[in-house]
Structure 1
């Protein structure tokens, strides 16, 4: 049985906590003596942000003092293509349940298509490391619109995308002549799993069908106009939030039963956990006058 992608990190952390609980309850059990694993970390690089975050925990053979505020770790990332090294700073965060933990912050914006190596080093030289290749945009193919009984539809094909996107958004950029100071307005429609709107794998790429008639109700609602109104449509766009290849689960399914097995979903050497990256892949296009009208909008310069 699959699980929602946003719940993934909660299941990734379960195996580690399970091991720590066993260690605390039975003094003779010391699972880390024979293993060269020193940290547990969870985080990812986001091309849409100038700040990156990684949650870090030390692996210990006994529980640390609950009041301890320091951690024996230096965190850096290396941009493989340039050799640039960024030192991350430690922040002690109090979470909603009252517990606290170390979240390291890196001040940089990752570059699509580049590889980054995360290193976590103790004062004795022991180290955990992980790498990620940030997804990049390939050439996108907007197929010819199709006019049928259900209205106008259009297939957007993303070559090289071979896994379900984390998020799919379609935006409609309209012209509002009543607001000269803010002429352009956008309505963003989130494509979910219902009716396969998130798309499917097709011919070595990912194909998503834009259904203009289905989107019109949400677009009208966001613009504050009636469904019968025909806003001036300047352009269309689609945005995919894509994860790197490290996020691919066994057999392509995010299964709770599989993910809770220790080491099943970890790409950290010298530790446990996960480090990946995400990128916002965007593509924009325009419709010709006749298709714009049939989709329920007004072409720029046309009569309303």
Structure 2
């Protein structure tokens, strides 16, 4: 598997690292105490959430935060206390991110509680998307093109991201593998079918993109070890207004919130992957060498 690719697009910008919205709530309500932004991710064992106390003075900042953050795995009752980290944003403002040592389990539900020293609290919960069945079809050949269909079962909405990776043999013992990761977009993104999601892996067409990703010439001698596909899916509650992750819309108070006694949103993402190998004949047909061939 390639290295974890962080959600650096709209999710991260909106839900975690946005520094300019320090005072999300323009007014103070007696029964709302914190803004919580973030998501739980099965691809890492260190989670992060942004926590913002609702203040009486707009623009007020502090070197500390009066908040204890606990996560509870509802199926088992296991709890984790998260640790605060004060961070500086690019605009000069500061805020707090809490980090928790937790790798969420697909299908499990987690509750986050943020508690003030006087007992006031805000909370939110999310269910990790369960792992679907994945089917990889036999390769198909159409004139000069070779492609394969990958089907993820039980995908109720368009996924956040579809990625294809090609793993090649490295050139040195210290770098045994080379991974070219391609994010499929537009027509290559795939489509809903039979209650799931289907993407077509363009094995021949991707060769130029692979060369660009690895910064090598298109006719470079590459030994292909395997091919993989990864679909990143959010939890069922994470469906933005109009289906678009628009930061300017989502940061407005109450627009998109599942936090009790507060503002913000807690979501979850899971990555569903499949990895496979090609026959020597197909590997050579799409322009690569097969491990152990004379070209290695």
Q: If the length of structure 1 is used for normalisation, what is the TM-score?
A: 0.81
- Deviation of 1:149 after TM superposition, in Å, equals 3.2
Task: Answer whether contact 1:173 1:184 (CA < 8 A) is retained.
Answer: no
Report what 1:82 is aligned to. Answer: 76
Over 3 Å counting, the alpha-carbon distance change for 1:223 and 1:69 in structure 2 is closer
- Deviation of 1:223 after TM superposition, in Å, equals 5.0
Report what 1:97 is aligned to. Answer: 91
Task: Answer whether contact 2:19 2:90 (CA < 8 A) is retained.
Answer: no
Report what 2:126 is aligned to. Answer: 132
In the alignment, does 2:202 pair up with 1:208?
no
1:4-36 deviation digits (Å, cap 9, x = unpaired): 7345449x999994642xx4xxxxxxx514xx2
In the alignment, does 2:37 pair up with 1:42?
yes
Give RMSD over aligned pairs.
Answer: 3.0
Pairs aligned (count): 286
Report what 1:119 is aligned to. Answer: 113
Report what 2:141 is aligned to. Answer: 147
Over 3 Å counting, the alpha-carbon distance change for 1:169 and 1:293 in structure 2 is same
Report what 1:166 is aligned to. Answer: 160
For structure 1, the 5+ residue unaligned runs are 24-30
- Pick the aligned partner of 1:62 from 57, 62, 76: 57
Task: Answer whether contact 2:161 2:183 (CA < 8 A) is retained.
Answer: yes
SS in 1 for 2:87: strand
Task: Answer whether contact 1:76 1:120 (CA < 8 A) is retained.
Answer: yes
In the alignment, does 2:47 pair up with 1:52?
yes
- Deviation of 1:285 after TM superposition, in Å, equals 1.2
Q: State which structure, 1 or 2, has the greater radius of gyration over its C-alpha atoms.
A: 1
Report what 2:287 is aligned to. Answer: 296
**Within 2, Cα distance between the matches of 1:257 and 1:64?**
19
Task: Answer whether contact 2:34 2:52 (CA < 8 A) is retained.
Answer: yes
In the alignment, does 2:24 pair up with 1:32?
no
Report what 2:180 is aligned to. Answer: 188
Over 3 Å counting, the alpha-carbon distance change for 1:285 and 1:258 in structure 2 is same
SS in 2 for 1:130: strand
Over 3 Å counting, the alpha-carbon distance change for 1:32 and 1:150 in structure 2 is farther
For structure 2, the 5+ residue unaligned runs are 1-8
- Deviation of 1:251 after TM superposition, in Å, equals 4.3
1:155-204 deviation digits (Å, cap 9, x = unpaired): 1111112333333221222335x64x25842332322423x222221111
Q: If the length of structure 2 is used for normalisation, what is the TM-score?
A: 0.83
**Within 2, Cα distance between the matches of 1:280 and 1:255?**
22
In the alignment, does 2:266 pair up with 1:269?
no
**Within 2, Cα distance between the matches of 1:267 and 1:14?**
21
- Deviation of 1:131 after TM superposition, in Å, equals 0.8
